[in-house]
Every structure is written in structure tokens, then in C-alpha cells.
Chains A and B, each alone.
Chain A
Amino acid sequence: MSTAKLNRLSPYLFLAPAFLVMVLALLYPLGYMIYGSFRDWNPSQALGESTFVGLKNYYTLWHDPNFRESVVVTLKFAISVVTIEMFIGVGLALLLDRNLRGMSLLRTLFILPMMIAPVVVGLIWKYMYHPTLGVFNDTLRALGMEPVEWLSQHALLSIIIADIWQWTPFIFILALAALQSLPRSALEAARIDGATGWQQIIHIKLPLMMPVLIVTCLLRLIDAFKVLEVILVMTAGGPGLTTEIMALRISRTATEFRELGVAAAMSNYLLMMLLLLTVLMLTYNRWIEYRANKAQRAAEEAL
């Protein structure tokens, strides 16, 4: 092959491995999953040997109270962690947005809970929630109060607290970055006009941060639907079905109940939910940006 020809081909050569991997290990499996969700399929068969059952898996799931329960648990979990984390994270960012010594240390240490393995996070919290050994009950006893059965009586609350510990820093860091990249002129103008701290936050800072906050919220929400290991280690979905989120239910349906077709249909439901969420949020973001642009153009024309 001549050098010139090789040069002309090089972009394709550069892209080929990535393209190949994505198709083989991501697109093909997703297609395979959708195909499999219409079949009665167990782990000992190849997909080709299974029988076609149409929408039966989807229909069964729709009427399955256990599956509905897990959808409700997932939504409860995701919505509460994201809401609480957004409030705490953004609040802390607004509060600590000043030149403090030790700020970079805080940011560094704040990343730790997100970086260590979810399995380890689950392990730490399972220990801390332990009815006799854990620090929480130790503290309660020291204060002369009744110890609490964290992981059995308040399982959902317990996993929500653990998730807040792990992921609030994510929102804090993003919100802080957003705050520090705000145009200084707008804040300066507000200060000269005599806006109080609260007024600055509500009328200037928050609206300007909105696009970033929406994306942050979206990313966090997506990740909240993906949480699995922490809950698996802490409660394994129990007691009963109180903490069995959809991701856990999928994995149990596939490995314990050995119904791959049903698990695939469940995966598809989860994927569709996430897709809907993403599209909604992105549309909203586009709309906000569009409105901001329009307002800006109107302001420029008025000058």
C-alpha cells in the first residue's frame, strides 16, 4: 500500500478499534437484550433455542406487584436522595463560596467517598449500622436512648443516608465550580445596587447557575437509578422488598429466578424510564438556554 493511501485511510484506522468495541460490547448487547425480552429464556439455553412469547414478559411485569413495588422503591430512593443532596450540596456551596483556607483540602477529602468502591462503602455503613457494634447505636446508648435497628426497621432511610454521605460532595463540587465561574460583573452590579446576600442568591446566583444545576441534577438522578452494590451489601434488598431497587431486582431475576427474558424486559423498562428522564431534562435545559438567549437579545436591541 502506498504512503499516500495509508495517510488517507488513517482517520478510519484511528476510529476503527473504538467503533468495533462499541458495536460489539455495547450496541449488540443492547439489541440482544431487546430481542431477548420478547422470549421465554433461561440461562441454560442459547437465545436461539428459546421460544418467542411476544409481549408476555412486559405484560406479566406490568401486573406483577413485586415489580411494581421495586419501581416504587427505586423512585422513592432516587427522588429523595437527589432532592436532599441538591439542597445540602448547593446550600453548602453557597455558604462556603469564599476564600477559606483549607477549602482545597475539603474538596480533596470530599471526593474520597465517591472514589472508593461502592462495595466498600456498603461494608463501612453496614458496620456503622450494626445493631450492637455500630457507632450509631453506640452513640444512642451513650446518650441514654434506645438503640435502633437501622437496617431492618428503617432500611430505606438507612440506605438513603449512606447515599447522601457518598454523593452530596459531587453536587457540592459541581455547584461550587458553577458559582466560581459566574460573571463577576453581574454580582458586582447587584452589590452596588445594594442587594442583600439573600437577594443576590435568589435573583442572581441561582438563576445563573440553573443550567449547570439541571445537568448536575440529571447526572445524579441517572446515577441514583444505577446504585446497586451499596444496597446489595447493606440490605440485599431486604427486609422483604423494602429496599429492592430495580437494578437489584433485575440481577435477582436473572441469577436467582433464572428468568432471563423477564429480566431483559425489566431492564428495558428501566432503560426507557431513564431515557424519558434524560430527554425531559435536556429539553428543559434547552428551553431555559433559549429563553436566556432571547432575553439577552431583547436587552441588546433595547440599547
Chain B
Amino acid sequence: MAEIEKKTHPGFYAILVTLIIMAIGPIMLMLINSFKLDVDIISGTSGLIFMPTIQNYETALCDILPYELDHLDFCALKFGGAFVNSLIIALVSTALTLIIGCMAAYALVRFKFFGRDTASATTLMVRMVPPAVLLVPVFGLWNNEFCLDKTGLVGGWIRDTFGGRGDVCLAGTHSGIILIYIAMNLPFVIWILQSFIVQVPRQLEEAARMDGAGPFQIFFKIVLPLIKPGLAAAAIFTFRIAWNEYLLASALSDRDTKTVPILIVNNMSEYNVEWGVIMATGMLLAIPPILFTLFASRQIITGMTAGAVKG
């Protein structure tokens, strides 16, 4: 290229630095405050001169820490349990969405049921449905319809094993929340995986078939390893929704299945907010997405731009 190398104006770097500070400033603020005691936060000696402490994190996680805390007589915030719930729900729904989505995407590409256009249209349609719209029907269905009769064989067994009264319903269980997250994410996952599966050369599969591999073997041993980047992007997006979602989880969870976002919202609406502890919890909730972003930003951008930008 005969393009003349233009010198970049230093102003551009100034803009760049400003943008970076604006983007991560608020998050850094939360990080710093999560290491401050409430006394330091409220006294308003804003700045970096304070004694950093992990007491907020200890308070937040008091119910799963192996040791007793001196500054607390009673562990009121059960964030530890909520973290376990959040982890179970996010990991299981991500894994299931990927497995189901992968199989469906493969079938759609290889056996040509309908093209990518249909998949993109479905994706867009599902993306259009706000979680708030699902709130009412999901609440009704999960509580009243998706139930096993307690006198039935399976329902009776569950009631005998786990106790409780009434019919065995999806609401209030981890599976209930997981099911709706899978449904919300599936179209996107299928759609993004399709674009990766299309690129797997047909000959490779033909060769495997010649060697006597069945469709399942071909899928697991040939196709899956080749679409790893697509799987990574799909996994991150699914995990993010399942990990961060509040509304449906709050409608479907009971006392024992609350996730972290629910506890944060509950504690924020109180009159006297314990800023330090809340920030520590917020930070803990933000850590997995932050790690994904730092290590897999390329895949995230792929997932984000796919669909709008062709090619």
C-alpha cells in the first residue's frame, strides 16, 4: 500500500485514555469501596488513603466460611448459599444449553431442515421477548401446571424423599429456573453454532463415515472439537444471562434457591444500606464476567457482532 504513514495526533491518545477511565472508573470505585469499612465510606475521606480490609467479603460470605468471625455475632446475610445456588444454576444451564444447542445446530446444518434465515428470525423473535413478559406465564405455569401429582409414583417418591406438602412443582427448584434460562438462550446458541458448523468441511465427515463411524460418533469426535471457538462464545453469553438474571429467578425461587442478584436487590431496597458489604457482594458477582471479558474478549466480540455485521 502506498498509503502515507500519518502521524497519530496525541489528542487521540487523550481520547482513548479518557474513554478507558470512563468505562472502568465506576467498576474500580466499587472495587475500592468493597475493601473499605462503612465508616471510611461514609466519612467521605474520598481518596485512596484508608486501611484496606477484607471484612466486607467475610461478612458477605459468613455462612460458608469455615471459621468464626469476630466482628459478627449473627450471620444475617446468607450470600454464601446464594453463591452456591447461582453457580449451580449458571453452570448447569450453560452446559445443558450447549449440549442441546449443539445437537440442534448440527442437525439443522447437515440435514438441511430449514436455513439459517429461519434460525436468525427465531433468534431475533426470542431476543424480542423481554423477561418481564415471561414473568406472568412462567410464574403461573411453574407453580400450577408443571407439577407432579403427590399421589403419583414419581411425585410421591420425591415428596417422601425431600419432604414438603402439596404437589411437586417446578417453581422453587433449581431445575425450574434452569429450564427457563435454557429456553431463553437456545435460539442464540443454535444460531451462533450454526455459523461455525457450516465451516466444518463435509469431506472430513464423509471420511469418518467411510471408516464406519455412526452419526453420533462423527458429531462428538469430529465436529465438536472443530467448533470450540463457537462453543466458547455461546457458553459465555449463556453463562452471563444465567448468572446475572434477576427477575425470573426472583419469581421462581423460594427461600433455599435464591440467587445472588435477588439478595443484592433485597438488601439495596432497605433503608440503611451497608455499602461496604453490598459492594463486596457486587464485586463477587462481577468477577466471573470480568474474567471472561479479560480472557475471551475476542470471542465475546464475535458473538456480539455476529448477526449485525456479516462476514
A: which residues have CB within 8 A of B?
3, 6-7, 10-12, 14-15, 17-19, 21-22, 24-26, 28-30, 32-33, 36, 41, 43, 46-47, 92, 95-96, 98, 100, 102-113, 115-120, 122-128, 132-133, 135, 138, 165, 169-170, 173-174, 177-178, 181, 212, 215-216, 219, 222, 225-226, 228-229, 232-233, 236, 246-248, 250-251, 254-255, 260, 263-264, 267-268, 270-271, 274-275, 278
List 16 A–B pairs whose Cβ atoms lie within 8 Å, in order of A's numbering: A14-B219, A21-B186, A92-B19, A95-B15, A109-B23, A111-B301, A113-B23, A115-B293, A116-B244, A117-B261, A122-B268, A123-B279, A212-B309, A229-B265, A254-B251, A278-B128
* Distance to closest chain A CB from B7 (angstroms): 11
A105-B20 contact given A118-B244, A222-B128, CB 8 Å threshold = yes
Q: Which residue of A lies closest to B46 (CB)?
A: A138
Please state if A174 and B304 are interface contacts (CB–CB under 8 Å).
yes
Q: List the B residue with the shortest CB-CB distance to A33.
A: B137
Q: Is the CB of B106 within 8 A of A133?
A: no
A124 touches B104 (CB 8 A): no
A122 CB, min distance to chain B CBs, angstroms:
8
Q: Is B49 an interface residue (CB 8 A)?
A: no
Pick from A107, A116, A228: contact of B290, CB under 8 Å: A116
Number of B positions contacting A (CB below 8 A): 93
Inter-chain contacts of A225 with B (CB < 8 A): 130
Once the chains bind, are A120 and B107 in contact (CB under 8 Å)?
no
Report which of B29, B108, B126, B305 forms a contact with A174, defined as CB distance below 8 A: B305
- Inter-chain CA distance A107–B282, complex, in Å, is 23
Least Cβ–Cβ distance between A98 and chain B, in angstroms: 7
Q: By CB atoms of chain A within 10 A, which of B33, B103, B125, B126 has the most?
A: B103
- Cβ of B113: which chain A residues have Cβ within 8 Å of it? 11, 15
Q: Tell which of B74-82, B155-163, B177-185, B224-232 binds the partner.
A: B177-185
B51-59, B61-69, B139-147 - the one binding chain A: B139-147
